[in-house]
Structure 1
Amino acid sequence: MNETFDIPKILELRKLTRSISEKIETDLNGYLSTLGPLFSPTPILGEYIRGGSKAPVKGAEMAFRDLKSRYQAIAGQIPFSLQTELSPPLDIFAATPALTAVEYPYTATAENKSASLTVTSPLKWVLSYPDLNPKRLLELLQGNRNQQEDELSHALLQCLTLNLVLEKRPGLVSILQGLRFTIDTSHHDGLGELPVIIISCPLRTLLPSDDIIIQNTEISGIPSFEEIINIEDIRELSDPLQQNVLSITKEISPTVYQEIASH
Structure 2
Amino acid sequence: MNQPFDVDSFIRSRKQTRAISDRLKVLASDYLATLSPLVRPQPLFGEYLQGAPRGSGRETQHHFKEFRTLFDKHAGQRPFNLINELEVPLSIINSTPELFPLEYDHQLSSGSTVRVTSPSRWVIGYNSFDLRRFRQVAQDPNRSGSELHRFVLHYLMLFHCFSRAAGLGRLLKGLRFPLSFQCLDDFGELPFCVVSSPVQSSLPGDEVIRNSTEISGNLSFEELISQDSIDRLQDDLREDLLLILQTAS
Q: State yes or no: 1:120 paired with 2:109.
A: no
Change (3 A) 1:217 1:206: same
- Relative to the length of structure 1, the TM-score reads 0.85
- The 5 Å alignment of 1:226-237 reads 226-237=222-233
- CA separation in 1, counterparts of 2:85 and 2:115? 36
Change (3 A) 1:57 1:42: farther
Aligned length: 248
Aligned counterpart, 1:96:
96
Aligned counterpart, 1:51:
51
- CA separation in 2, counterparts of 1:168 and 1:219? 46
Of 201, 204, 211 in structure 1, the residue corresponding to residue 207 of structure 2 is: 211
- The 5 Å alignment of 1:109-258 reads 109=109, 115-141=112-138, 142=140, 144-145=142-143, 148-252=144-248, 254=249
Q: Which amino acid aligns with 2:125?
A: S
Contact 2:94–2:127 (8 Å) recurs in 1: no
Residue 71 of structure 1, CA deviation: 0.6
Residue 200 of structure 1, CA deviation: 0.8
Residue 128 of structure 1, CA deviation: 1.0
Identity, % of aligned positions: 35
- CA separation in 2, counterparts of 1:49 and 1:188? 27
Secondary structure of the residue aligned to 2:86 is: coil
Larger-gyration structure (1/2): 1
Indicate the RMSD between aligned Cα atoms, in angstroms: 2.1
- CA separation in 1, counterparts of 2:147 and 2:127? 14
Secondary structure of the residue aligned to 1:229 is: coil
- Relative to the length of structure 2, the TM-score reads 0.90
Runs of 4+ in 1 over 4 A off after TM superposition: 2-5
Aligned counterpart, 1:261:
none
- CA separation in 2, counterparts of 1:137 and 1:220? 25
Residue 105 of structure 1, CA deviation: 2.4
